[in-house]
Amino acid sequence: MTRDDIEFDVSFGYWYNFLNEKFYSRWDLVFNLVQLIGGSAAAAGVMAGSSALVAASGVALAVCAALSLAWQPGIKAERHCNAKKDFLDLKGCMLSLSDAELAKECAALQKGEAGMPSLNVPALNMTRRALGDAYDFKAMTGWQRFVMRLSS
């Protein structure tokens, strides 16, 4: 690998983790809002004596809590935030590292938290844009564009 390839990988690692952090933190926010609204609706249902509202709220809370516990978007967002910071720190000290040291540090960071595979191409395009290559973008599928919109 050339120095340029390694520097590209460092920049890609930053943008990939940036998008994943945003994606997971937004889902964490959605789950928290559903739980907040569901809890309020259950309380209102109890006060109004509406067993249907209490039951519907309970189901929504249970499903949301199960998804949140199984998927753990808040924890994943924090891990990607830390990885993003690590790539940014590595980018800041790139000039003081040899090619071999830089490649070793970059490879160690790439072994971190796996993210959404659908964010690979958006992160690639963001990396190319950040490095000044505004013309060599890879086409995204509809799903990749959707996931990117959730992440940015």
Tens digit of each residue's pLDDT (9 = 90 or more) over 31-54: 999 888 888 878 888 788 888 878
Condensed to tens digits (0 to 9), the pLDDT of residues 95-144 reads 999 999 999 999 999 997 788 999 999 999 999 999 888 777 888 999 99
What does 26-55 look like in DSSP terms, one character per residue? HHHHHHHHHHHHHHHHHHHHHHHT-HHHHH
- Give the integer Cα–Cα distance in Å for 10 and 44: 51
- Give the integer Cα–Cα distance in Å for 18 and 7: 17
The values of phi and psi at residue 128, to 5°, are -60, -40
Q: Name the percent of the chain lying above pLDDT 70.
A: 99
CA angle 60, 62, 65 (to 5 degrees): 105
Does residue 55 have a pLDDT over 90? no
For the whole model, what pTM was predicted?
Answer: 0.86
Q: Tell me what pLDDT residue 47 has.
A: 81
Mean per-residue pLDDT, 77-105: 94
Does residue 147 have a pLDDT over 80? yes
Q: Tell me what pLDDT residue 113 has.
A: 73
- Give the integer Cα–Cα distance in Å for 142 and 134: 21
Q: Tell me what pLDDT residue 150 has.
A: 86
Structure letter (DSSP) for residue 111: T
Condensed to tens digits (0 to 9), the pLDDT of residues 3-20 reads 999 999 999 999 999 999
Q: Tell me what pLDDT residue 61 has.
A: 86
